[in-house]
Amino acid sequence: MLTKRIIPCLDVKDGRVVKGVSFVDLRDAGDPVHVAQIYDREGADELCFLDITASHEQRDTMLDVVVRTAEQVFMPLTVGGGIRTLEDIRRLLEAGADKVSINTAAVQEPEFVKAAANRFGSQCIVVAIDAKRAAGGEDDVHGWQVFTHGGRNTTGLDAVRWAQRMMDCGAGEILLTSMDQDGTQDGYDLPLTAAISDAVTIPVIASGGAGTLHHLYEAFAQGKADAVLAASIFHFQTYSIGQAKSFLAEQGIPMRPGTVPVSTA
C-alpha cells in the first residue's frame, strides 16, 4: 500500500540552514547536508530545501549544497525558491535534486510550468501555492486566494482553480502552504487542504501550521493530503520523524516505519 509521506523542510540561505535547527547532537546544525543526514537516518520520506537566498548571484551555493546532499542521502529531494528558468531547473536536477518547486514564476508565467513539465517530465515539477483566506478576488470561488512573495502580494487568483490549472499545465504535485497558518503551530488549514486535494488528481503536500503530531494526523484524515511538510516540530526536536510515524500509524494512517533517533541528547 502506498504510504503517506512526511517531508521535513529546511530553509537555506547562502548555503546555510536558517530558522534555527536545534539538533544538539549535530556537528554543524547550520549545514543542510548534516541535517539531511539526520532526517535520512530517522526515516523521513523525502526532503525539501527552500532556498531563501536573496541575490541571484549567490544561488550557486545552493547547487553545491544539492551536490553534497546527493552524495550522502539516497532519498527524494525537492528544491524550491527563486526558480525562474528552464536552465535553473536543469542545473538543480543535474546537481542531484529530484524535483523542483516553482512558485512565483508559475503565477507570472503559467506557460513556464507547461514548458518545464514537457522538458523534464511532470514527475519533477512541483507547483508551490501560497494561499490565504480572502474573499472577493476576480475569480474567487472557494474563499482562498493565491499570494506571492511570502503572502505580501495578492494575485486575485482562486487557489482551488489555480491548483487545477497547474495540474492541467503538467504539474506533478502541489505543495500547498496556508499563509494564515504558517508559523502559528496551530495546525494546517484543513478545509483549504481538503478543497484542493478533492479538486485535483495529483498528490497534494500540506504545509503551514504543524505544531503537534495530531496536526499531522488531521492533515491526512481531514485534509486528505498525500504528504505533510513540516519544519519547526522536527527541527527543534519536539518530535522525531520516528515518533511522528509511530503515532500516525497507530491512528491508522498508512506509514512507512521510521527509525528511532540515532541519538537523543
Partner 1 sequence: MIAIIDYGMGNLRSVQKGFEHVGHEAVVTREPAVMERASHVVLPGVGAFGDCMANVTRFGLVEPIHRAIQSGKPFLGICVGFQLLFTESEEFGCHKGLGIFPGTVKAIPLSDDVASSYKIPHMGWNTIHIEKPAPPLQNIDSESYVYFVHSYYVEPADQELPSTHTEYGVSFASSIWKDNIFATQFHPEKSQTVGLQVLKNFGEWQ
Closest separation in Å from C-beta 184 to partner 1: 27
Phi-psi region of 209 (alpha: psi -120 to 50; beta: other; left: phi over 0): left
Q: List Cα–Cα distances, 155 to 106, 114, 232, in angstroms.
A: 12, 20, 28
Site for partner 1 contains 186 (CB under 8 A): no
3 counts as binding partner 1 under rule CB under 8 A: yes
Three-state secondary structure call for residue 235: helix
Give the dihedral sign, CA 239/46/30/16: negative
The dihedral formed by the CA atoms of 262, 242, 239 and 204, expressed in degrees to the nearest 10? 130
In whole angstroms, how close is the CB of 254 to partner 1 at the nearest point? 8
Active site members: 11, 130
- Whichever of 96 and 110 has its CB closer to partner 1, that residue is 96
Is 231 an interacting residue with respect to partner 1 (CB under 8 A)?
no
What is the total count of residues that contact partner 1 (CB under 8 A)? 40
Q: Which residue has the cell 487542504?
A: 193
Q: CB of 195: closest distance to partner 1 in angstroms?
A: 11
Q: What angle do CA 199, 175, 222 make, to 5 degrees?
A: 55
Pairing mode, strands 16-18 and 5-13:
antiparallel
206 in contact with partner 1 (CB under 8 A): no
Residues sharing a CB contact under 8 Å with residue 82, sequence separation 6 or more, in sequence order? 51, 53, 56, 59, 88
Smaller CB separation from partner 1, 97 or 229 = 97
User: Cβ 118 to partner 1, closest distance in Å?
Assistant: 8
User: Is residue 24 a contact point for partner 1 (CB under 8 A)?
Assistant: no
What binding mask, one character per residue, do residues 69-98 give for partner 1 by CB under 8 A, x or -? -xx--xxx----------------xxxxxx
Binding residues vs partner 1 (CB under 8 A):
1-5, 40, 43, 45, 67, 70-71, 74-76, 93-98, 120-124, 172-173, 197-204, 224, 226-227, 256-257
